[in-house]
Amino acid sequence: MSRPRGIPSYRRHKSSSQAIVTLTDPSGTRRDVLLGKYGTAQSRKEYARVLSEWEAAGRCLTPHSAEGSAKPDLSVNELCLAYWRHAEHYYVKDGKRTSETYAIKQALRYVRAATSARSP
């Protein structure tokens, strides 16, 4: 069994420049939670919220505190649409979509077709 620890620190995740906190439960299981852009008021509020939930759960990791905010389940179609919207804006060069978006569109069509074929 691991020793009890103090309050987890708010720190900067170097590779993403986001704020991060590592939560540990009594069994020693650890989980990192990204909080948003480092140094912002919003990330500090998220840090306080995550810590308060962790404390309220007896310093145990709960699915809610470990994932940030509770989010509803997504369907495959909703996930595909969200990723497509991201790709339309992310894969742009000189104001035009790159060819990568066409490959992504084809892959998403395949995913949607494969999941709809398995649906009852």
Q: According to the model, what pLDDT value does residue 110 have?
A: 92
Q: How far is CA 39 from the centre of its chain?
A: 18
Give the per-residue pLDDT at 44: 95
Helix 76-90 vs helix 100-118: crossing angle, to nearest 10: 180
The answer to whether 18 touches 35, Cβ cutoff 8 Å, is yes
Helices H, strands E: what count in the chain? 4, 5
Query: What is the largest distance, in Å, between two alpha-carbon atoms of the chain?
Result: 56
Task: Give the separation between CA 115 and CA 82, rounded to whole angstroms.
Answer: 16
pTM beyond 0.85: no
Whether 22 and 10 have beta carbons less than 8 Å apart is answered as no
Digit-by-digit pLDDT tens for the chain (120 residues) are: 445 568 899 999 888 889 999 988 878 888 888 898 999 999 999 999 999 988 888 888 776 444 444 556 778 888 899 899 889 889 999 989 999 999 999 999 999 888 877 755
Domain locations along the chain:
11-67, 76-118
Question: Residue 1: its pLDDT value, please?
Answer: 45
Model pLDDT, residue 98: 92
